[in-house]
Amino acid sequence: MPIAPKTIFITGAASGIGRAAAKLFSERGWFVGLYDVNEAGIAETEQDIPPAQRTRGVFDVRDAAAWKQAVAQFGQATGGRMDVLFNNAGIGRHGCFEDVSEADSALMIDINLKGVVNGIYAALPLLIATKGRVINTASAASLYGPPQLAIYGATKFAVRGLTEALDIEFARHGVRAVCLIPWFVETPILDMPSAGSNRVMRDALNELKVYPVSLAAEGVWKAAHTDDLTIIVGQAAKDLNFAARFMPGAVRRRLKRNMKNR
């Protein structure tokens, strides 16, 4: 009997890291589940993946019942396997705290954090049956609280902490949890409006390094195979991680100077 391909369920697969990861994993023989709230984007992602290697669904990660339906559909397509749940869907809003609306802040919390929690609850039975793993997308914004990304960073800190805790808890089930921590990469999130101005996030970050999305996709591949707890993507993120751990005062002073110069 042929060996069944490994399987990955991807949220946020309509663009950015999710799309790049879907293409990379399919090229390397995996069966991929493409899920997003953006149906047109899912259709575009499908064009890069052979029909026999994919399934798809359109749903909002804030909807716990929709999560259960999507996971059930994926399980039917894979014979009850889920080697990886890639919790990747997320949004961002840039701007000073008081300029970002309460509605936008609530939306980030609901999608970036509650969406991840909903997914883990829904997928855990399949993950346990498969001895699989959860990969949660955090951000370099989870390494040190970033000004003008306060709520976004808070959600990513929470995702990182959740991953650390669950990797310990789920060991008794033979399930891993790994956190992907990319620096800014070339995705549509950089084109989100910057609150309180007529700029987008990309404009506000123009002095910072932006990495190709393919680098993040390789990070997801590594996260699917590593024994490590976190995969940090991009040298800039690695430098920030080092500075935040060993020179937090210097990081804080630099960020304060940058704010004064804006």
Annotation says 121 is catalytic: no
- Work out the average pLDDT over 40-68: 97
Q: 210 and 185 in contact (C-beta within 8 Å)?
A: yes
Name 127's Cβ contacts closer than 8 Å, sequence gap at least 6: 82, 85, 133, 134, 170, 173, 175
Higher pLDDT, 206 or 151: 151
Give CA separation, 256 vs 87, 148, 249, 250, in Å. 32, 11, 11, 10
Q: 134 and 178 in contact (C-beta within 8 Å)?
A: yes
CA atoms within 13 A on the CB side of 11: 30
pLDDT value at residue 224: 98
Confidence of residue 1 (pLDDT cuts 50, 70, 90): very low
Average confidence score pLDDT of the chain: 91
pLDDT value at residue 255: 83
Q: Is the pLDDT of residue 199 over 90?
A: no
Give the pLDDT confidence of 125-143 residue by residue, as tens digits. 999 999 999 999 999 999 9
Give the pLDDT confidence of 223-260 residue by residue, as tens digits. 999 999 999 999 999 999 999 999 999 988 988 887 76
Q: Which residue bears the tokens 């399919």?
A: 26
CA distance 230 to 238: 11
For 68, the 3-state DSSP assignment is: helix
For 234, the 3-state DSSP assignment is: coil
CATH of 7-237, one of 3.40.190.10, 3.20.180.10, 3.40.50.720, 1.20.1730.10: 3.40.50.720
The dihedrals phi and psi of 137, each to the nearest 5 degrees, come to: -80, 115
Give the pLDDT confidence of 103-117 residue by residue, as tens digits. 999 999 999 999 999
Give the pLDDT confidence of 3-33 residue by residue, as tens digits. 669 999 999 999 999 999 999 999 999 999 9
Q: 25 and 54 in contact (C-beta within 8 Å)?
A: no
pLDDT value at residue 257: 83
Higher pLDDT, 210 or 153: 153
Parallel/antiparallel/unpaired status of strands 54-58 and 31-36? parallel
Give the pLDDT confidence of 140-166 residue by residue, as tens digits. 999 999 898 999 999 999 999 999 999
pTM metric for this prediction:
0.91
pLDDT value at residue 198: 55
Q: Which of 35, 144, 152, 211 is catalytic?
A: 152
Name 116's Cβ contacts closer than 8 Å, sequence gap at least 6: 61, 87, 136, 159, 162
Name 65's Cβ contacts closer than 8 Å, sequence gap at least 6: none
Give the pLDDT confidence of 75-85 residue by residue, as tens digits. 999 999 999 99
